[in-house]
Amino acid sequence: MNVPVEAQEPVLQDISRVARSAGTSTISICVLMEQATFDESDGYYDNDDEVVDTIMRAYEAKLIPATKSSIEALEKVTLQQELDSVGACVICTQEFEAVLKVTRMPCSHVYHEE
């Protein structure tokens, strides 16, 4: 990766913030950062927005929703641990209370059903 480490963290934090505010339950993100210098004086890069739109459409996630029965079969647990390790619901991003019934997904993320 050619991007200096000190420049990576703010970008990743911005991506994370935007993803959490997107209002969807699942977001797949792949981040590739490279430092590049472009000379726009020749007009070659005038269609950047069109190129980005084409790439985004080509790599659009094809998500398959979970069945109701598979969601109901997920493990129900009581969250009583230090909240620093869990923090917030992965669905609505609301901070968890000290003791709360939550549902654990296969990836170990937890969410509340309220």
State the DSSP string of 40-74: GGGSTTTTHHHHHHHHHHHT-----PPPHHHHHTS
Name the phi and psi angles at 13, rounded to 5. -65, -40
- Looking at every residue in the chain, the average pLDDT score rounds to 73
pLDDT of residue 73 exceeding 90: yes
How far is Cα 2 from Cα 33, in angstroms, rounded to an integer? 7
Percent of the chain with pLDDT over 90: 5
The pTM assigned to this predicted structure is: 0.38
pLDDT of residue 70: 92
Name the phi and psi angles at 95, rounded to 5. -65, 140
86 pLDDT tier (thresholds 50, 70, 90): low
pLDDT in tens, 10-45: 888 888 777 776 666 667 777 777 766 666 666 655
pLDDT of residue 83: 45
The DSSP bridge partners found for residue 75 are 104
